[in-house]
Amino acid sequence: MQIRIATILALLIGLLAGGNTASADQYELTFSNGSSWRGDDGALVDVVYNEQGIEQSMTGVIKKIDGRPGFQIVFIRGQIAGREATKGIFAPDIVSMKAAGDAKDSVATAKTPVTKPADADRKRPGGQPSKPAVTTTGEDGYLKSSKPGVFFMPWEGPVGIEARHDEIKAIIEEADKYGPGQIIVLQINSPGGLVIEGDKIHETLKDVKKRHRVVAWVKEAISAAAFASLHCDEIYFMQVGAMGSAVMFAGQTAISGDELNAWLEKFSEVAEIGGRDPIIARCMVTRTAMASYDKDSETGKVTIYPDMRGEFDISDDKNVLTLNVDNAMDCGYADGVANTTDELAVLLDLPEWHEVNDSGRKIHERWQRNVKQCRERIPRLNAEMQRNPEKAITLLKELLGWYNRCYPVLVYEMGLPPDPDPLRRQIEELRRQRARQRN
Amino acid sequence: MSLKKSISMAGIAIAGFAVSLPGVANASDNRVPVVYVVPMSGQMGTDIHPSIYDKVIEDALKVNPDVIVYQLKSADIDNNFYLAGNDDRREFGMAKIGEYRDLARALHQKLDARQVMWVEDSVGLGSLLALSWPEMYMSDGARLWGLARVSMMAAGWSDPDVASKMLNAWVGMGNGFLQLGGHPLEIGWAMMRPEYALSASFKGRKVTWTNDTAGQWVVDSNDERVANFSASLAEDMGLSEGTVENLDDLMFLLGYREYDEVESGKDMVKKYVEDWRRTFDRCKSWYADAQQKLGWASGDDAIRYLGAAKTDLEKILRACKQYPAVAARWQQDYGMSILQLELQIEGIKDQIGDMRRGNRGSGRRGGNSGRGGGGGRGL
């Protein structure tokens, strides 16, 4: 009996803890006058709302927000008629909502609701907590952060499997909500990967550079990851950083002839898009390309040659190029060295490191978690299939589901067929067999 | 535990020099400096594993020492008297370069104190760690060898362009460690790639390294072997700041005539190494027991023996999850990953379930899955 009670208690505690976790959710509300509010459960807010035609106000803590967009109910706990109570306010009735007691920082009009600081806000280097940022909606309809900051996203693992185009696209979409001119920082740590992913990345990065400032912060950018990095407006290295070795190959063999020429052209184009000399980029693509440079000792101007005539060697005709901090900085391929976000903030000309929100980290974590689950689940599915053939239909349906959830791991890493149709047919066939057996 | 130490008489006799040396600790500061020693001893990938150093960092942050000394003693590829009981060739090549890169970065970034690398001996990937710190001292007779291992990681590609891609990718990652330590790329190329020569030219205190034999001092002219450094060569070339016999020597050269040594880091690492190795030995015997019990699992006692075997395997699983070093060795010696262990356990559970439902001898088996080869073109 004691054990049962303990179990029930543990479950209840788990449920309560689960309730707290939910409080980390961030909400976005748009009000009838065009203003909006973004924030989390637990935010202390001043809210003005209409009730039976009368404008009322209250201050309280957001307990939760329920309902579908446009029809949400905001539950706020605060003082109502002299006592502590929770009030549900229909979102369309809200005139304005802003962080409590922060009228100066929030603009006084209905256009300027405020939020809690983003989770990603960090302390200043000296350990002093930085002033919280507020997000408002501007007259142009874009969100505005009160502090200059970045959209930061780690981009890690094999390209096309863990480091994908989809996540880059997602962080761009987040930055787009704030209008043009945002800073997107991709923290790159990847050994390279699939060419097909490189093509998609190329199109997206080429396009986004027209409206945002895109920054690569390189720990490891090998092969396809070097290709992605070269698109960026700025490339900063960590002291341990390495970038290059972008030979394209199939099976055991490097591409050659027209295919290689096309790849060299594309790589050169990408380097130029990023404002860098294509001669050095070509050395990352093929062993026989060469690069050296002279550097004016007074002006620091670098002149790059496609052979070894320069005073400083970059790459001879026996090696594919991988740059490290020293040579990347000296020849001007890297714009700076930053080992920490605070150091990076200085290089980006920001007063301090501030992430406008943590969506990039969440986007990254979500996909990484998905990949991890897939890697763990698929071998189990396989084993279960062998142990319990009678469950084959259910298990195959789950496998089909994984095609939607985590296609790259299934196809490129585990070697499953790219087209799941045979799987669908197999399920149908099994159903027919079962039906025949029942009859 | 804290030990207060004073430099020996010989040290005191010449300590007068210390105060006049540039960059030496100020003697007028009455507080005895605290040194925190972090051992990095044994095999890379198992004994020297990032998992324990996360805890060491936490501890060092609490201690807040003036000096942190990394005491490196790792020679992967030959016999060393101090590794006599421990020099297990099955543990070679288990180190993951990215994990060590993150470890070196974390130690640099999270700990504020002056950091010093003391190489007692290093052959293999440990030398990358050694070169990750600008201030390095070596023991008499110590080696800074074995970075040919890095280029060996890229072996096996016949196409010259692909081979060069792999080689330069690995060497580039290896050179990241040297750059963290403020060492020039030329040293890394020569230490990782046999065909690169190495020489140095001196202008005052400034040393210029080149990958040829044109310098004043030729370190390596052999195009079939990588450059290696003995303690004396490293000191002559300015790569090592000095040669020391023990911590007293080192602290003296660092300018401290007396110091307090906090040994909690040493104790943590020692305990970790003892624990994971003892646990791994237990795993071997649990596995032997499990195999025996699985062999006995038939007839009326089948469920009992299957259950007992499952319990043994679960102990191994817990050990693998607790100690990445155990998991790595388990994979190496028994060819089983954590996932494969879990699948085997689940298979046994199913078998027991079947038997309990009276479905004995149904012939079901736990299956392990392998990974198929990936498709697509690599970049």
- Chain B residues with CB under 8 Å of A322 CB are 168-169, 171-172
Q: Does B79 touch chain A if contact means CB atoms closer than 8 Å?
A: no
Q: What per-residue string of b and e applies to A174-209 under the rule 16 or more CB within 10 Å gives b?
A: bbbbbeeebbbbbbbbbbbbbbbbbebbbebbeebb
Q: So what's the pLDDT on residue B50? A: 92
Which tens digit of pLDDT belongs to each residue from A344-401?
Answer: 999 999 999 999 999 999 999 999 999 999 999 999 999 999 888 999 999 999 999 9
Lowest pLDDT segment from A82-91, A186-195, A202-211, A306-315: A82-91
User: Alpha-carbon torsion B80, B85, B86, B89, what sign?
Assistant: positive
State the pLDDT at residue A71: 63
Of A252, A324, A412, the CB nearest to B162: A252
- B342: closest CA of chain A, how far (Å): 9
On the question of pLDDT at A157 being above 50, the answer is: yes
A373 contact B CB<8A: no
Chain B nearest-CA distance from A285, in A, is: 8
Rounded Cα–Cα distance for residues B37 and B209 (Å): 32
The pLDDT of residue A159: 97
Question: In the predicted model, is pLDDT for residue A201 greater than 80?
Answer: yes
**Nearest residue in B to A218, CA atom:** B176
CB contacts, 8 Å: A254 with chain B: 159-162, 165
* A223–B372 CB contact, under 8 Å: no
Answer yes or no: do A252 and B378 touch at CB < 8 A. no
Mean model confidence pLDDT for chain B: 86
Check if the beta carbon of residue A295 is closer than 8 Å to that of residue A313.
Answer: no
* CA–CA gap between residue A249 and residue B161 (Å, rounded): 9
Q: Which of B165, B341, B349 to mutate to test the interface with A (most CBs of A within 10 A)?
A: B165
Amino acid at A404: N
Q: What pLDDT was estimated at residue B95?
A: 62
Beta-carbon separation of B168 and A223 below 8 A: no
All domains of chain B in start order, with CATH? 2-269 (3.90.226.10), 273-356 (no CATH)
Q: Which residues are B344's β-sheet partners?
A: none
Instruction: Encode pLDDT of B323-336 as tens digits.
Output: 999 999 999 999 99
Between B367 and B5, the higher pLDDT residue: B5
For A318, name the nearest residue in chain B, comparing CA atoms only.
B164
Where would I find the H helices in B206-263? 231-236, 247-253
Report CA torsion sign: B219, B222, B225, B226.
Answer: positive
CA dist A32 and A95 (Å) reads 7
Q: Which chain B residues are Cβ-neighbours of A319 within 8 angstroms?
A: 164, 167-168
Decide if pLDDT at B365 tops 90. Answer: no
Is pLDDT at A269 greater than 50 in this prediction? yes
Question: Are the Cβ atoms of A382 and B172 closer than 8 angstroms?
Answer: no
pLDDT in tens, B199-244: 999 998 889 999 999 999 999 999 999 999 999 999 999 999 999 9
Q: Read off the pLDDT band of A118 (50, 70, 90).
A: very low
Distance between CA atoms of residues A325 and B174, nearest Å: 12
The answer, for B108 touching chain A at a CB cutoff of 8 Å, is yes
Task: Provide CB contacts within 8 A for B160, sequence distance 6+.
Answer: A254, A287
pLDDT at position B24 is 44
DSSP3 helix / strand / coil % (chain A, rounded to 5): 40, 30, 35
- Test A240 with B166 for CB contact under 8 angstroms: no
**SS3 assignment, position A396:** helix
Nearest CB to B185; choose among A240, A326, A376? A326
The pair of structure tokens assigned to A379 is: 């071998």
Least confident span in A308-322, B252-266, B365-379: B365-379
Does any CB of chain A come closer than 8 Å to the CB of residue B214?
no
Task: Using an 8 Å CB-CB cutoff, list chain A residues near B377.
Answer: 194-196, 248-250
Residue of B nearest to A288 (CA): B161
B377 touches chain A (CB under 8 A): yes
pLDDT for position A256: 96
For residue A112, name the pLDDT band (cuts at 50, 70, 90): very low
Give Cα A9 distance to the centre of its chain.
38
Under a CB-based contact definition with an 8 Å cutoff, are residues A352 and A329 in contact?
no
**In chain B, whose CA is at the least distance from the CA of A416?**
B372
Tell me how many residue pairs between chain A and chain B have CB atoms under 8 A apart. Answer: 170
Q: pLDDT tier at B168 (50, 70, 90 boundaries)?
A: very high
| B180 has a chain A CB within 8 A of its CB | yes
pLDDT over 90 at A272, yes or no: yes
Residue A20: band (very low, low, confident or very high) from pLDDT cuts 50, 70, 90: very low
Q: Measured between CA atoms, how close is B3 to chain A, in angstroms?
A: 32
* B321 vs A: CB within 8 A: no
Q: How confident is the model at residue A101 (pLDDT cuts 50, 70, 90)?
A: low
**pLDDT attached to residue B331:** 93
Report the C-alpha gap between B300 and B4 in whole angstroms: 66
Indicate the residue of A245, A250, A252 with minimum beta-carbon distance to B169: A245
Closest in B184, B369, B379 to A193, CB measured: B379
How far apart CA B112 and CA A236 sit, in angstroms, is 24
Contacts of A19 (CB under 8 A, 6+ apart): none
Residue B373 at interface with chain A, using a CB cutoff of 8 Å: yes
Rounded-to-integer distance, Cα A223 and Cα A254, Å? 13
The rounded mean pLDDT for chain A is 85
Q: Could you say which of B105, B167, B169 has the minimum Cβ distance to residue A240? A: B105
Chain A, 191-250: which have a CB under 8 Å from a chain B CB?
A: 191-196, 198, 219-220, 222-224, 227, 238-250
Q: Is the pLDDT of residue B341 over 80?
A: yes
pLDDT above 70 covers what percent of chain A? 83
Mutate to test the interface with B, among A320, A344, A402 (most CBs of B within 10 A): A320
The dihedral region occupied by A385, where left means phi > 0, alpha psi between -120 and 50, and beta the remainder, is alpha
* A4: Cβ contacts below 8 Å, ≥ 6 apart: none
- Model pLDDT, residue A114: 35
The rounded radius of gyration (Å) of the Cα atoms in chain B is 25
- The pLDDT confidence band at residue A73, using thresholds 50, 70 and 90, is confident
The tokens of B232 are what?
């004396």
Burial A368-400 (b: 16+ CB within 10 A, else e): beebeebbebbbebbbbbbbeeeebeebbebbe
Closest CA to A230 of A285, A181, A176, A291: A285
- CB proximity list for B170: less than 8 A, separation 6 or greater: B97, B150, B151, B153, B154, B192
Residues of B in contact with A222 (CB under 8 A): 169, 172-173
User: Cβ contacts (< 8 Å) between A419 and chain B: which residues?
Assistant: none
Q: How many C-beta atoms lie closer than 10 Å to residue B92's C-beta?
A: 17
Model confidence at B375: pLDDT above 60 = no
pLDDT given for residue A55 in this prediction: 66
d(CA B352, CA B346): 10
CA atoms of A133 and A114, how far apart (whole Å): 9
Instruction: Provide the pLDDT for residue A69.
Output: 63
Please report the pLDDT score of residue B294 as a whole number.
96
- Residue A23 pLDDT: 34
Would you say the C-alpha torsion B67, B73, B76, B77 has a positive or negative sign?
A: positive
Chain A: nearest CA to B171, how far in angstroms? Answer: 8
Q: Give A77's pLDDT tier (boundaries 50, 70, 90).
A: confident
Mutate to test the interface with A, among B339, B369, B379 (most CBs of A within 10 A): B379
B257/chain A closest Cα distance in angstroms: 32
Give the distance, in angstroms, between the CA of residue A202 and the centroid of all CA atoms in the same chain. Answer: 17
